[in-house]
Every structure is written in structure tokens, then in C-alpha cells.
Structure 1
Amino acid sequence: MKAVIMAGGFGTRIQPLSSSKTKPMLPVVNLPMIEHVINAVKKGGITELVILLYFKPEMIRNYFGDGSEFGVNIKYVLPEEDFGTAGAVKQAGEYLDDVFLVVSGDLITDFHIDEIVHFHNNKNSAATICLTSVEDPLQFGVVITDKTGKILRFLEKPGWGEVFSDTINTGIYVLEPEILDYIPQNKVFDFSKDLFPLLMSKDITLYGYKASGYWRDVGNPSSYRETVMDILRGKADISIPGKLLEYQNSLFYSSGSYSCEDVLLEGVVVFGNNVYIGGKSEIINSCIGSNVSIGNNVAISESIIWDNIDIGDNCILDNCVICDNVILGKNVYMKNGGIVAENTEVGDFVVFEKDILVWPDKQIEEDSILSSNLIWGDKWKKSIFEGGKVSALTNVELSPELAAKLGAAVGSILPNNCYVVVSRDYHTASRMLKLSFLGGLLSAGVNAYDLRMSSLPLAKLQMSLKGAEMGIHFRQSGTHDKFAEILFMQKTGIPIDAPIEENIERVYFRESFRRAHHEDIGEIVDVTDSHDVYIKNQAEKIHTEQLKLKKLKLVVDLFNGTTTGIFPRLLNMLGMDTIILNAYRDQKKLAKSYRNINNSIEEIEKIVVTLNADLGLIIFQNGEKFRLVTSSDGALNTVSTVFLILKMVDMTTEKKMKAYLPVMLPNVLDRELKNIRVERGKSVGVKPEVIQEYDLYVDAEFNIAFTSYSFCPDAMYNVVKILEMLSSLEMSVENVLAMIPDFYFSHNVISCPFNKKGTVMRKMSEYSENLETFFMEGIKIRYNDQDVSVILIPDQYSANLHLYVESGNKDTDSDFALNLKEKIYKWIQE
């Protein structure tokens, strides 16, 4: 007999615990939940298993392998789509030629599996459903049986008015193989909603076996905590890993090394491996994972501590879950419960006022008081912005309610009756968030020019033409398909600065919104001519006749973005011979993974060569970024593109010009340019009054802007300028690139906890004492004897460091990067 374990769920209801782990892999008394299921199945005499995967399949597969280390034989099935519970089991049909058990991988039970199977066989049943009684049956399928166990009535997830029993479907089934014939192939089909009603309609008798013992559907964070506590209190006959040791009056289980002298243990306490607890601490009815360090005078009760945790002195934790890779500072107070998800740092003297949920990758500053769930944003302080942008999980963290509140906060800091420009991409989430935001904005007496679907360059042009106080753009993230972003722009089009962010945040957190009188509520003005205005504006700034004389053959990939309605028109106006790719709307492609982007680049490289085109162009989704593709060099990186433009401007300009470059951009062209004076400065927080002093401005992401046109990068304008300069020079891109000296440049992102950044930068400063060093932004070191420059800059928003290395030799560049990374990792560990 075989058992099918369903382990493909997303675990949405149990977030944030499932943010980095698939739900069946959540630790329950220091073992993955699904391992307890496997143990129960094995105890029932079944060792042949089929595990159905879907979400994060590698996590389960890597842990269990073929099952031999766990005393079972495992086959894995990974459906191509989410076909529902029964539909997924159908995918495993090739392994199911005899009676088989189906059980969920995300429940905890001590039911005797062999008794369920024995009942099924005695009844000669086609399908048997394991039943149990619960206090709250609303989340489950309610079932009524007769005295023989025959199921008379079945209702999936009723409302209270529909409840007819406290006996529910546990999600454990014993099925004959012919039942698979009633499940369609490659279609969404569920046991409770579809299969069982279908079988009953065909007069196929279903039996229910009412099991005795412990059963818990671990569906949300509360049930997770309660399940673990039930096991510790002995309510469930679940095996606890580790060796049972005598320690004071507690039941103490340990799976490895530990140190807990002068520590009080009470109730049932479970340790993983490598656990250290400081003196005068007490641990009561709690699970402690592996690689955990707990300070002195710490009180932990009825809590679950995962792996790789550092807890400071004098902390109090009651009814808490602390996930992997969390650092708690000293004197953290979580007396009223709480969940802290992975990769979070909590500063000293932080107070959790009630049962707070903190989502992953957060930074909570010392002395903070958390009174509500910290779902989004990387830092808990007065900061919800990252460089003028709000970015979070769509409709989970960044919800319509939050967008409306944010709109009211923005409106409250702006002058009464002023105008802002509002735009979006074509993703349905962007439309939803924009509409919600507008409600809050209008309530504060602020008007909006609504461009509806628009690329960022068009929106920024409209801001300038209409004298708007601010611009707000809603879009799908280009790197995270589940994230939405809201961009906030000053009058000049650049991101809002820190003082504006702080004003918005102050109103947002205090909820001190301005409410306009009912006669003064803002209005929405639809803007319908933005494309025509943009084309006209471009035509006035470009030598179109010169371009038409040199008709170039172009291959253009618009990446299913927001420029599809305008860039082809612009190129047509210029008389280009153009082949356009991906010029249709597809919201699934608005957020392309890096892998897919690389695949797209490879495709256009092949097309450019095949068609012998003069140039390939990739215009990214929102119209700010672009890539050039040549037949000989392929797709140019951003640094080479900046240098290409600088070189061409230098060769075509009739006046002396100034260019502002960030400090980490290579210096190879600084002395080569004859008509452009290069000046370098910091990459973030550059003010408009500084940018306006320069003819060319390169931002932190190496996007270039012609400031006489805009302070912001505009991919379409930049591409046309490149075409114009190529026409004037009567040269190809390859010809210009050949005039740029060889250089090698690498950018390395190094993970570093926030509390280690200062230490690493200090170590870097000490390391550079006898070298030529600059401190304009981060630390720059110049090795004159080897013609190498190194810059180390801490990331402003994430737990990362950025290491840039420039050299005239590829091997030297790689060696320096490797050696410095090794030093930095060592400094982080010290």
C-alpha cells in the first residue's frame, strides 16, 4: 500500500511563518511538520510514499531525498499547474495501482493510520474519509454519517447558518485506484468540492471513519503556536526529537550540544543542537532550535524559537514565535505574544504592545514601540519610503486601504486645491491601488491630472507642462512579480527627498489627515493627449531631417511595457526601418525575472545578427531604462552605454559641457573627453539645484539624463539622441566603442547585517590607512601601483554592502574583488 502526501500548498493563511519556508516544512518541536506526517504513516505500516509538490518543491526534496534516511521510499510528483487536491493526486496515477492513503502534509495528528485502513477494508469501501469532531467546524467540510459509517450528507466550509454537525473531514482519505477514473486529467478538481459530491451523485457509497485522538489543521499562526504547545503539554502523542535528559523538574529533550548553567527549566523544554543560554535565565514549555544564543536574565515561556537566533540580555518572550536568522537586542519586551519572521533585527529596548506580526527582512530600531503589525517596509522607524518609492507585496502588504491612507497623507502636506499628476502601468493591481490612492488624495482637497496608463517619461513631461506639485506613478515591480510600487516625484521629476518623505510619514503615522469641506473635495481631470504632446515635444528637440537621411535598420523589443503606444510612432516619424517585438500588453510579463530578461536579450541578439540590423534596442517596461544591442558585441551593459553616450556627445558638441557622474562609475573616460568636464559626487540624494548645473547627469543605477531636456532618464529620448549622433558622426556604435579604452569593472553585492555595517566600514578604513583613500561616498581606495580602484558603499535600505572594483586587467579585477570579499566576510564574522 502507498501513501500520497500532499505538500504543494502556498501557506498563504499562515504567513509570515511561510514567507521563506513551504508550509509543510515549518518546524514543529524542531522537526518539519511533514516529517511528523511521514512518521505517522510509517507507524501505520506504510513505507511507500508519493509526495505531491508544487510551491518551493526543492525544499522538501532536498531535505528528504529518496527517503532512505527516514525509513521510507519516496517518489516525487511535481504537477505543471495547481490542479487542486484531487487533480494533483491524479498526476500521481502511475504509482497508484492499488488501494492508497491520501493525507495532507501540513497537519498534525496522532491518529492510528492502520485503524483507518482496516475500517476501509472491512467496509469494502471505494472511498473512506477520516472524520473527527471540532469546536469550530466553519473552516472544514462538515459530514453526517449513519450508524454504519455511511456518509449521508457532506458540505464544504459552511457558514454558521448551514452547520449541521461538529464532525468534519480531516483531509485523510483511503481510496481505491478506480476512484482516479472520476478525476479529470489536467483540470482543477478538489476532493471536497468536486470529487465527493460527484461520487455521491452517482450513488457510490462513501464511508466515514471517526477517529479518536489528536488532529490539528495548522492553518494560521495561532493554530501553529497552539499545536506546538499542545504537543509540549502532552495533548498529542507526537514523538519529540532528542534525548530525554534529567534536568531539575523539567522534561528536557536535547538533540546536540548545549550550555545552560544556572538556568531554570520548567515544564517540557526542547533543544536542537548548539544551544547556549546565559545565567539567571528561565525557559518554560518552549522549543529552542539549533544554533541559538540566549543572553543572561532572559525569560522565555510557551514560545517557539527557530534556528540561528541571537537573543540579548534581559528579554521577556511569552507566547512568541521567532523565525530563522533573527537578532533580538537587549531588553526586548514581547510579554503579550508576537511573531518575528526571518532575517529581522530588533534593536534594544523594543516593546511589542500586543500580539504583533513582524514580516521578514525588517529593521526595528531601538526604543521602538510596536502597536500594530509590521507587514511592509524594511525598517520600523518613521520610514515607509525607499528613495521616494513605496514597494511591497501586492494586495497583501500594499493594499487598497493602505493606498487610500497614503493618498490622504500626501494630500495633507500639499497646498489646498493644487494639482498632482497621477499615472500607472496597465497591471490591474496598479489600477486598483491608484483608484484607492485617489480617494484619499481628493479627500484632502487636492486635484489630480489622471493620465491613466502611461510610461514614466510621459508622466514627467506632463508634470513639467502642467506645473504639478507632485507626480505619483503606480506600477508592477520589474524584479518581483508579486510586488507593486508607488513612485513619488518632485516637480522636476526626480524622486521626493527625505524632508518630503518625513512630512508624509508624520501625517501617515499620526493619521492627522486634512479633511476638505464637502464643497472643496478635489477633482480628477482626465488627460487624453499625452502621447501627442510627447511626440510633438520630441520633434521640437531632435534634428529629424538629418535622421531621415540616414535610414537605420532597427530591431526594437518593447518588453510588453508602457511605451508600446508611443515609441513605434516616434520611430516612424523619424523614418526608421523598424522591426518591433513584444508591443502588446501582457501583465504577467510586466514583471520579468532576471532569467527571463536574459533570455529576451539572447533572442534579440540573434535577431539583430540574422537580419543584419544596424542596431537592436530594448526599452524596458516603464520607459526609463534601455539596452543597446550590436551584432558584434551583443547587449551593452549600462556602464558601456553611459560611456558610449559621453563619447558621442563629446565628439558632436559645439560647446563645453559638464557631466555629473557617481563616484563608483569607472574613471576610464575622465581624461579622454575633450569637450566634457567630468565631476563626481554621491549617487543618492542629489538635489535638483545641483543637477541643473550640469549638462549630463548619471544616477545611481547608471542611467543618463540630458538635463536640458529632463533631469530624469528617458529611454526613448536617449535612444533617439544616440541615433541622431550616430547619423551626424556617420559611424556605427561599434566604431565609437572601439575608441573607448579597455577597462574591467565588477559590482559585488555582499550580504551584511545592519548591525555589522559600521564595523565593516571601520575595518575597511583601517585597512586603507596607508593607501590613497577618498570618503566622498563610502570608502574609495586607489592602488596606484596596480591601476586598481575599489569602492565599498553600504546599501541605504537593505542588509547589503556594494563592492565596486575597476581595473585595466580582468584578472586583476577578479583577484581584488575575491580578496576583498574574503576580508569583508571575515570582518562580518568577527
Structure 2
Amino acid sequence: MKAIVLAGGFGTRIQPLTNSVPKPMLPILNRPMMEHIIIKLRDELDITEIGVLLYFKPDIIKDYFKDGSDLGVKIQYFLPDDDYGTAGAVTFAKEFLDETFIIVSGDLVTDFDFKKIKRFHNKKESMLTITLTSVENPLQFGVVIANEEDRIERFLEKPSWGEVFSDTINTGIYMIEPEVLDLIPYKENFDFAKDLFPKMMKQDIALWGYSQKGYWRDVGNPESYREVYKDIFSGKIKLPYKGEESKIDKGTVYAQKGVKLSKKIRVEGTVVLGKNVSIDEGVTLKDCVIGDNCRVSKHSEIIDSVLWNNVKIGVKVKLNNSVICNDNIIKDESKATFGVIMAEKCLVNKKVSFEKDIIMWPDKVLESSSVVSSNIIWGNKYKSSIFEDGAVLGRTNIELSCEMTTKLAAAFGSILPVGSSLYVSRDYHKSSFMLKRAFVSGILSTGVNIVDPNNVPSNVMRHSLSKKDDIAAGVHLRQSVFNPAQTEIIFFTNEGLVVDNKLAQSIERIFFRENFRKVKYDDIGSISEDKNLRNLYIKTIENSFDNNIFKDSELKVAIDVMNGSISDIYPVIANELGIDNIILNAYRSEKIKSNDIVKSQENMENIVRAMNLDCGFMIYPNGHKLQVIDDKGELIYDYKLLLVVLDLLDTTTTRKLKVILPAWAPDFINYDNIEVSREKLSNFKAEQLKEYDLIADSDGHFAFNEFGLNRDSVFTSFKILELLKKSGKKLSKLHKSIPEFYYKGENIPCPSSLKGKMMRKFLEDGKDKKTSSVDGVKIWMNDDEWILMVPDQHNEYLNLYVQAEDEKSAGKIFYSYQDKIEKWISE
């Protein structure tokens, strides 16, 4: 007899425990769940030949079990090239399955008697036997009715409560004759419960059901994983322990090699210790499992909890009902008395308190003395802030779930007056559509009305927002251009500006405290539509330019609208202004990858050269960023594009202009007719920005005051064409006329706790040089060469910018300060 172990599931419902390991590898008593199944097959059925069906993270399973010889079996692995369903996957092992075989999921915990299943199967001369059992909640399983002879008469996969006709369910343990495999098509999606069983019943091939009493649990979610341990320690199921048994205090300890136990510890119930575990004096252990290479420091309490491998527990830590995955550090006096499920590589600093049962996703950092009252799934580091420069970013359906989005909306709505109105727009991606629905619900619950412009780019909504007096704010949801798995939710004031830090903090306070305003039923907000935003935007741009300037010109331009929401706007404006144009990618597509941007740049360069065009524009999907290719088919890097635009303004203006730029923008060129201010651009009020003719940066963002205070690449592209026509110059000549210099920007890793120290060290290092601390610390090496260090607001790194006369000089400056930073961090 042979066996097939199903080990290909994604483990979605049990995340984040399966963030780095497949579900069959989750440890039970310091063995993977799947190992318990293999041992059971070996010991009860004398099976030595086992096939393992893989799919998700197969190498982790293969690297652990290898050929199976350590367990006294021979394992053969089968890896389908796609997801073909439970039965479809088995056909990949068809040649291996040349005799009666049993199929068991690798993520089950059970004490069913496999010998009895085999005897029943042989007695009935069955082609396929399904192992059945009774459960309290059958909704997640296939419900089965068998007659008095144990032949299955009715089967329904995962019913609703209204469809439940039995509490007897399919356990997923099957005993099968190899002839049944002929009924399963090869390389087609085919499931046992949905496809094979109905097919056999339709062909009057008997399906037999053998009911088993005993312990059976499908470990499908984090709570069921914890329940397995409770059942083990309460005696509901007996599984083999690893290690040498000894009686200590009031309990029993099973310890493997290398364990170091203080004589002054308290033990109650059953304690299982892996290799090289160290337990200090004063520690209390009760009904717990501790994996390899763990350390529990003095006077800590580990009760009803599971520690995986390489976990470090500080002094006076209290864990109850907790699961702590690999490579976690929990420092002194932290407490999780109500429970915590902590995925791998988290750092819990001193005196953190978990107020209720919490789930933490991987790579989180909790600051000292934090009080945690909700699940931590946000970003790479748990902070008091969820906003990044007026936006909330997260992986769709993970950090930015519908629940999270609804709460965020309720927090935002709570700071707006009851009865006020709010624009909520989105791009055309289905993820944005889904999260917008959730967002709208949260807003309405606070008594704020929604004005829905539907699918428009963010710059279109912002433009209309700044022109309307009866709209209190705006929100735009869009898929990230650089990471398609991520959604961005951007918040705007009634002036169309991104919300500043103060307003963001007000929203966050309500969000974290869940102190949402909830209005009476008759004050709930309403939804109306405004489909005129697009037309208003188009007309405003058209009226901003003299049609004759373009109609009389011979400008020929290519524009890549990058499959974005701007695709039905740009051609209308270009044609109305009389610009000879070629529009690329003017259709909407959700299948955009981040590396498509590089391909688009290369394509645009080739098109401009081949067709002898005056320039090419790349308009990013929401109209917020612009890239330009000159008439020689060369991409103008973002920081050089800024210099080109400034040159055009300087040589064509009839009056003195004021421009505001960030501190890191290149500054080695002086202008005759432009007064340049370099400031920290965030948190400016509209009244302050109105003093400037242009607000720009060195990343392809431009806001011309004559059109609005908001960055807009559509308007900017037409403004550049107007300036080119007025100047009579070729873009390539302007591009090449920029004096030779080198500009470099990179990130240097730095813990948040040391960013203040880095600021101080930079200022000290530049005390004998010209410096500026407008935004970060800028140190001049000479009149034109400088380095600027700006600690990143949201991530654990420093932003370094260097301006120098050439690459060699820039490298010398950059690497000298990189070495200094590394030295300062290590001090």
C-alpha cells in the first residue's frame, strides 16, 4: 500500500503563520504537522512509499524531509505546473500509484485509526472510501449522507447554513484503488468533492463512507492552531513527544539535546523543549512548547503558549495563549496576558502591553511602552503614524483591507462637519473599485455626503476641488504605478492640497482610538454624482492657451498615456489645441507591471527618433508625474527636466517669476528672471503657495500657479510646448546646454532611533563649512558641490543627495559620508 500526502495549499486563512512556511510545515510539538501524518502512515499501515504533492513553497518541504530516510520511509515528490485542484494534482503521481493508496492532507491533526479505514475499504471491496466524522460546524467542509450500508447517497461541498442537511462531513482522508485515476482528466482542474465524486455517483460507482470517532482537526486558521495545543495538553489527543522525559516541580518536561534549565524554575502541566533551549531562574512554564535555540530570561512566564525557533524572551515577560513564530525578540517586561500571534522577525521593545488578543504580521517593530489594542498588519514598522505625505499606502486586501479602509474613512469623516460633502474618486482598477465601496460606507456612517465623480484621475478631481466652495475635501484611490499589488488612498483639503501632518494626526488619533462619530439613521450621508469634472478640466486647460500658437506651429509630439485614466482626456485637449500628436497606450489595462515604465521609455525614445518628432511625453496614469524625451530621442532625467523648464521660463518671461523648490534640487545655475526659494515643501498653506509662479521638484512634478497649486503633468506638457514655441529652441539643444555636473540620490540604512544622532553628527561635521538645515542637513564642499542628508520620515534609512562637478567627485563625497555614517551608527 502507498500514500499520497497533499502539501500544496497556500494556507491563506491561517496567515500570517504561513507567511514564510507552507501550512503542512507549521510545527506541532516541535515537528511539522506533516511529519505527524507521515509517522502515522508508517506506524499504523506499514507504508514506506509516500508521494508528496507540492505546489506552494515546495523547496521548504523538500529541504526538510529530503528523501524521507530519516523517518524510515521513501518519499517521492510531485510538483504540478499549475493549480489543477485536489484530484487533478494526484494525476501527476499516476505512475507511482500502481496499488491501493491512501490520501491524507498534510495539514490535518488526527488520531483516527487508519487500520480500521483499511479494513472497511477491503471489506466493501471499495473503489473509493471517504473517511467521515461529525462536527459542530460543518460549513467549511463537504456535508455527507450515507445509507445504513454506509454507501454515500448525497454530498454537498461547503454548504451555507440553509443548505446543511447533516453534521457528518468529509475529512479529506480517502482510500482509493488506482483504477479510479482513469476517471480524472490529466492537466485539467478537477476536484475530488466537486468533480470526481459526482462523476462516480452519476456512473453508479459506489462511494463508501466510513465514520470515525476520535480527534480530527483541519488547522485552517490561527485560532484552530492554538486550539490544537489546548487539545493536546488537555488530553483530547495524544501525539508523540520529542526529548527525554523528566518530572520537574508540578509538571513533566520533554527536553532535547543542549537544553539548559535553571534549577529554580516553576513547571506545571506539560512542557516540551527543543534543542539548545535556555531557561533562566525564576521562569514559570505551564503547558507550553518551546522550539530550538530559544532563550527565556529571568522571571518570565510562558503559559499555554508556543514558541517556534530562535525566539528571545527578555526579563519579566508574560505570555499567555500566544504563538511566537521564528526569529522574534520580546524585550523586558512586555506582557501579552490575553494572547498574541506573532509572525516572524518582529521586535517588541521593553514594556509593551497587548491589551487584547492580537495578531502581528512579520517584520514589525513595537516601540517601548507601546499599548497595542488592535491587530498590527501595517507597513514594515508599527508606528503612531499610518500616513505618508498625506496618503495611506498598503498592499491591497492585506494591509489595506476593506475593514481597514472603512475604519480609515470613518476616522476622516469624523473630523468633517455633519452634512458636508466630499469628493471620492478612483482609477479604473478593480482593487480601487472594491476599496472605494468600503471607504464610501465609512464616510456615510459619519453623516458626511459623497459626491462621486466616478473614474477620474486624481489631478482632475483636485482641480475641481480647488474651484468648488461647497466641497469640504477630496479622496482619491488608485493602484500604485510602481507596485501593482499596492493601493494608495490620498487625502486632499478643500483647496486641493494634500492634507498636512497636523490634519493627518487628527485622523490617526480617531482611527487608533476608534472614536468614530456615528450619526442617527436620519443623518446618515447620501451619495450623488458629478460627471462634469472631466469636461471642466478639459475646458480649463484649453482656455489656458492661445489656440493659434499651436495651430500655426509645426510641432509634432508623441504622448504615452500609460494605460491610465488620463487616456480619454489628453487626446481631446491635444486635438482641440491643434497639436499634431500620436497617442500611445490610450486604453485602460490592469495588467501593468512596474518594469513596463522602462519599456515605455525605450519605446518612446525609438518612436521620437524614427519619426523625427519634436518631443515625447510620458504622462503617468493619474496625471501626477511627467517624463520627457527630447527631439533626439533621449530621455531627459527628472532633475534635468526641472533645469530645462526653468531655462525656458527664464528666457521667455516678460516679468520676474518666483519659484519654490525642495532643498535637494540642483542649485548651481543662476537665473536672470527667476527668484528661486528652496524650502521644505510639505505643510504649506494655499495662501503661501499662491505667491509662487511655479512649485516643482526634481522628480518630474510641476504645479503652475496660472492653472492651479496642484502638480499636473497634463497641463505641464502643454506649457512646455508653449514655452518651446515661444523660445524657438529645440528641446535637445536646451538639454545639452545644461552645464556638466553630476547629481546622485541614494538611501543609507539607519535605525529610527539613531536619526537624531545622524542629524547632530552631520551638523558637527559641517561646522567649518557652509551648511543649511532647511530640510535635513546640507553641507557645501565648495560653491557648487554639496551633500544633503534628509532622514526618511517613514522608513529606516537616510536619504543622501550629492551634487558635484562629475561622477568621480560625487562618488568621493558620497562614499566618504557613507563611511562616516556607518562609523557613527556603530559608535
TM-score by length of 2: 0.85
CA deviation string 1:543-564 (max 9, x = no partner): 4433334444444332322112
> Contact 1:2–1:50 (CA<8 Å) still a contact in 2?
no
Matched residues in 2 for 1:525 and 1:443: separation?
16
* Aligned residue number for residue 721 of structure 1: 719
* Number of the residue aligned with 1:103: 104
Once residues 690 and 653 of structure 1 are traced to their aligned partners in structure 2, the CA distance between those partners, rounded to angstroms, is 22
| Other-structure match for 2:562 | 559
State the distance in 1 between where 2:641 and 2:534 align. 27
- Output one character per residue of 1:646-679: Cα deviation in whole Å (capped at 9) or x when no partner: 33333433333333332334x3x43354443433
Q: Deviations over 1:227-257 (max 9, x none)?
A: 2454566765555566778877642434667
Correspondent of 1:321 among 293, 317, 323: 323
2:286 aligned partner: 284
SS of equivalent to 2:282: coil
Counterpart amino acid of residue 251 in structure 1: V
Question: What is the rounded CA distance, in whole Å, between the counterparts of 2:821 and 2:169 in structure 1?
Answer: 56
| Structure 1 residue corresponding to 2:549, chosen from 537, 546, 549 | 546
Name the structure 2 match of 1:739: 737
1:320 Cα shift? Answer: 0.9
1:680 partner amino acid: R
Decide which of 707, 714, 724 is 1:709's aligned counterpart: 707
* Equivalent in the alignment of 2:16: 16
Range that drifts further, 152-161 or 236-245: 236-245
Which residue identity is paired with 1:10?
A: F
1:86 aligns with 2:87: yes
CA pair 769-195 structure 1, distance change in 2 beyond 3 A? farther
Q: Which residue of 2 aligns with 1:206?
A: 207
Q: How does 1:562-577 map to 2 (within 5 A)?
A: 562-577=565-580
Q: Map 1:57-456 to 2 at 5 A.
A: 60=61, 72-80=74-82, 82-90=83-91, 101-109=102-110, 124-144=125-145, 150-158=151-159, 167-184=168-185, 187-209=188-210, 214-231=215-232, 238=239, 250-254=252-256, 262-271=264-273, 277-289=279-291, 292-307=294-309, 309-324=311-326, 326-360=328-362, 362=364, 364-376=366-378, 383-394=385-396, 398=400, 403=405, 406-415=408-417, 417-442=419-444, 444=446, 446-456=448-458
CA distance in 1, matches of 2:493, 2:481: 22
Quote the residue 1:653 is aligned against: 653
Query: Post-superposition shift, 1:751?
Result: 5.2
**Cα displacement (A) at 1:372:** 4.1
Cα 1:252–1:200 change in 2 (3 A) is: same
- Evaluate the alpha carbon distance shift between residue 222 and residue 631 of structure 1 in structure 2; reply closer, same or farther with a 3 A threshold: farther
The residue that corresponds to 1:663 in the other structure is 663
Structure 1 residues 260 and 498, CA gap change in structure 2 (3 angstroms): farther
Matches of 2:779 and 2:32, distance apart in 1: 47
SS of structure 2 residue aligned to 1:545:
helix
What do the CA deviations read for 1:10-66 (whole angstroms, capped 9, x no partner)?
Answer: 323223333454434434444544455555566653445343314x55655676677
Tell me the residue number matched to 2:539: 536
- How big is the shift at 1:219? 0.5
Residue in 2 aligned with 1:797? 794
Contact 2:3/2:47 (8 A) holds in 1: no
Distance in 2 separating the partners of 1:434 and 1:25: 37
- Cα displacement string for residues 355-383 of structure 1 (whole angstroms, at most 9, x for unaligned residues): 22334455545544444444547776764
Instruction: Give the deviation of 1:419 after TM superposition.
Output: 3.6
Q: For residues 271 and 793 of structure 1, what CA distance do their matches in structure 2 show?
A: 47
Contact 1:350 1:367 in 2 (8 A): yes
Whole-angstrom CA distance in 2 between matches of 1:807 and 1:466: 45
Indicate the residue corresponding to 1:487 in structure 2: 490
Moved more, 35-44 or 217-226: 35-44
Identity of matched residues, %: 42
Give the residue type in structure 1 aligned to 2:205: I
Three-state SS of the structure 1 residue aligned to 2:453 is strand
Q: What RMSD in Å do the two structures reach over aligned CA positions?
A: 4.2
Instruction: Say if 1:442 and 1:245 are closer, same or farther in 2 by CA, change over 3 A.
Output: closer
TM-superposed CA distance for 1:441, in Å, is: 3.9
Q: For the structure 1 residues 314 and 522, does the alpha-carbon distance in structure 2 shift closer, same or farther, using more than 3 Å as the test?
A: same
CA contact (8 A) 1:683 1:699 kept: no
Name the CA distance, whole Å, in 2 between partners of 1:32 and 1:768.
56
1:473 aligns with 2:471: no
Distance 2:253 2:410 in 1: 55
Name the structure 2 match of 1:460. 462
Q: Is the 8 A contact 2:330 2:349 kept in 1?
A: yes
Is 1:618 paired with 2:618?
yes
User: CA 1:65–1:561 in structure 2 vs 1: closer, same or farther (change >3 Å)?
Assistant: farther
Residue matched to 1:628: 628
For the Cα contact (< 8 Å) 1:45–1:114, is it kept in 2? Answer: no
Query: How far is 1:319 from its partner?
Result: 0.6
> Secondary structure of the equivalent of 2:460?
helix
Aligned to 1:499: 502
Deviation at 1:171, TM superposition (A): 1.9
Asked whether the 8 Å contact 2:33–2:109 carries over to 1, the reply is: yes
Cα separation, 1, equivalents of 2:356 and 2:434: 31
Structure 2 vs 1, CA of residues 712 and 661 (structure 1 numbering), >3 Å: closer, same or farther? same
2:191 maps to amino acid = D
Q: Using a 3 Å threshold, how does the CA distance of structure 1 residues 456 and 224 change in structure 2: closer, same or farther?
A: same
**Displacement after TM superposition at 1:391 (Å):** 3.4
CA deviation map 1:498-549 (0-9, x unaligned): 232233344553535263794x765544322222221221122234433334
Shift of 1:716: 0.9
Question: Structure 1 residues 517 and 119 mapped into 2: Cα distance closer, same or farther (>3 Å)?
Answer: closer
- When structure 1 is superposed on structure 2, of 614-623 and 410-419 the one drifting more is 410-419
- Counterpart contact for 2:788–2:800, Cα < 8 Å: yes
CA separation of 1:411 and 1:229: change in aligned 2, threshold 3 A: closer
Letter in 1 for 2:424: V
- The alpha-carbon distance between structure 1 residues 790 and 572, as it changes in their structure 2 partners (threshold 3 A), is same
In the other structure, the counterpart of 2:595 is 595
After alignment, is 205-214 or 687-696 more displaced? 205-214
Tell me how far 1:464 sits from its aligned partner.
1.7
Q: 218-227 or 386-395, which moves further after superposition?
A: 386-395
User: 1:331 Cα deviation (Å)?
Assistant: 2.6
Query: 1:324: how far off?
Result: 4.4
Instruction: Report deviation, 1:318.
Output: 0.2
Shift of the alpha carbon at 1:463? 0.8
Q: Is the 8 A contact 2:631 2:730 kept in 1?
A: no
- One-letter code of the match for 1:621? P
> Which of 351-360 and 158-167 deviates more?
158-167
> How much does 1:129 deviate?
2.9
Q: Which among 554, 575, 585 is matched to residue 582 of structure 1?
A: 585
Moved more, 199-208 or 429-438: 429-438
Query: CA separation in 2, counterparts of 1:730 and 1:321?
Result: 70
Secondary structure at the counterpart of residue 503 of structure 1: helix
What are the ranges of 5 or more consecutive residues in structure 2 without an aligned counterpart? none
Q: CA deviation at 1:728?
A: 3.4
1:668-711 deviation digits (Å, cap 9, x = unpaired): x4335444343323354444444334333235955232233222
Instruction: Report how many aligned residue pairs link the two structures.
Output: 821
| CA gap 1:178/1:601 in 2 versus in 1, 3 angstroms | farther
Q: Residue 655 of structure 2: SS of its match in structure 1?
A: coil
* Matching residue's letter, 2:393: S
**Separation in 2, partners of 1:443, 1:401:** 14
Q: Secondary structure of 2:454's partner?
A: strand
SS in 2 for 1:453: coil
Equivalent position of 1:513 in the other structure: 517
Tell me: CA distance 1:522–1:150, structure 2 relative to 1, closer, same or farther (3 Å): closer
Amino acid at match of 1:453: N
**Contact persistence 2:652–2:726 (CA under 8 A):** yes
Alpha-carbon distance between aligned partners in 2 of 1:78 and 1:761, rounded to the nearest angstrom: 54
Q: Deviations over 1:111-132 (max 9, x none)?
A: 6768766865676543333444
**AA aligned opposite 1:391:** L
In the alignment, the residues of structure 2 paired with residue 290 and residue 635 of structure 1 have an alpha-carbon distance, to the nearest angstrom, of 54
User: 1:153, CA displacement in angstroms?
Assistant: 4.0
TM-score by length of 1: 0.85
Q: Distance in 1 between matches of 2:263 and 2:750?
A: 32
